[in-house]
Amino acid sequence: MKRTVVPISIAAGLLLVALLTQPAIAAPGVDSSGLRSAVTVAGIRAHQQEFQDIATANGDTRAAGTNGFDESADYVRDLLLGAGYDVTVQPFPFAFFQELSPSFLEQTAPTPTVYGNGTDFLTMDYSAAGNVTASVTAVDVVLALPRSPVTSGCDGDFTEVGAGGFGNIVPDPTGPDDFAAFPSGNIALMQRGTCTFALKVANAASAGASAGIIFNQGNTPAREPLFGGTLGGPADIPALSTSFAFGETLANTSGLILHMVTDTVSEIRTTSNVIAETPGGRTDRVVVVGAHLDSVLAGPGINDNGSGSATILEIALQMADLEIQPRNQVRFMWFAAEEAGLVGSDFYVSQLTKREIKDISVMLNFDMVGSPNFVRFVYDGDGSGTGTVGPNGSDVVEDVFLDYFASQTLATEPTAFDGRSDYGPFIAVGIPAGGLFTGAEGLKTAAQVLIYGGIEGAQYDPCYHEACDTFAGTGDGGGSTPPGLGLIGLDQMSDAAAHAVLTFAMSRSAVNGN
Return the closest-CA partner of residue 63 out of 269, 332, 366.
269
Distance CA 510, CA 286 (A): 10
Bond prior to 372 in cis (omega within 30° of 0): no
Cα dihedral 86, 87, 92, 94 sign: positive
Return the closest-CA partner of residue 148 out of 224, 225, 217.
217
Distance CA 109, CA 135 (A): 9
Return the closest-CA partner of residue 229 out of 244, 218, 217, 214.
214
- DSSP result, 120-167: TEEEPBTPPPEEEEEEEEE-S---STT--S--TTTSSSEEE-SS-SGG
DSSP bridge partners of 188: 137, 212
Distance CA 272, CA 72 (A): 11
Whether 175 contacts 195, CB under 8 Å: no
Active site residue 339: no
Whether 456 contacts 446, CB under 8 Å: yes
Q: 3-state DSSP call for residue 220?
A: coil
DSSP bridge partners of 275: 88, 333
Return the closest-CA partner of residue 153 out of 170, 168, 138.
138
Whether 178 contacts 139, CB under 8 Å: yes
Instruction: Outline where DSSP puts E strands in 245-404.
Output: 257-277, 282-292, 328-335, 360-366, 377-379
Check 314, 338, 339, 398 and give the catalytic one: 338
Distance CA 418, CA 368 (A): 15
Q: What are the C-alpha distances in Å from 39 to residues 61, 158, 494?
A: 26, 54, 7
Q: Kindly report the number of other CB atoms within 10 A of residue 388's CB atom.
A: 17
How many angstroms separate the first and last alpha carbons of the chain? Answer: 51
Active site residues: 338
